[in-house]
Homo-oligomer: A and B are copies of this chain.
């Protein structure tokens, strides 16, 4: 089943939630399970598996997703990179547009060179505001990155489009949330798009199918004076 609609029928959603509750009531496995003997454990896990199969069966909607990775924590761009790799692994084509970074040659771009034309990678941003020191120029670069992004969003050939650090461009006022919502509407029904960066605006969160907020719990930069290291930060 393929759909553009962003919500399923209320009845289907109810069924799905009922199965979720059932799965939860059946409880966890491993040492968290109450049973001492293996046979009782196996029976409950068997029942749990049936519910799981139903859950998967209920979820039959296929659609291009809007995925947002935001928050102050590490892992936003890296999570999007993981999606790039998965998509390439399934033979899908990908486009990445970097809105802020791009002054340096990142390790991932080098690693991804071997995917050839299946991956288009554009590092259009010039760097942080304190590096460019020129708002008008920043705005022009962001707008031209956005034009490029729209071309990819509308292009049915790309299975996944990553708009890296676009949330920061939105936050700085170089791009309007309305522009982005319009751009998302250009996509064919099965094109996924991932938008990364801290400070994603409310209108985008509202439009997203998935939002993950990366929360900092501990950070070695802050607390230990550790420098940015190859493979981890870039």
User: Hey, which bits of chain A sit against chain B, CB under 8 A?
Assistant: 6-8, 12-13, 16-17, 20, 28-33, 38, 41-42, 45-46, 48-49, 52, 56, 58-63, 65, 67-69, 71, 73-83, 85-90, 92, 106-112, 114-115, 128-136, 138, 159-160, 171-174, 192, 205, 208-232, 234
Copies in the complex: 2
Partner of A172, one of B31, B62, B212, B232: B31
B215 near A213 (CB under 8 angstroms)?
yes
B212 near A30 (CB under 8 angstroms)?
no
Give chain B nearest CB distance to A145 CB in angstroms: 14
Q: Give the CA-CA distance A140 to B8 in the complex, in Å.
A: 42
Q: A173-B32, A224-B8 in contact; A83/B232 too (CB < 8 A)?
A: yes
Give chain B nearest CB distance to A54 CB in angstroms: 12
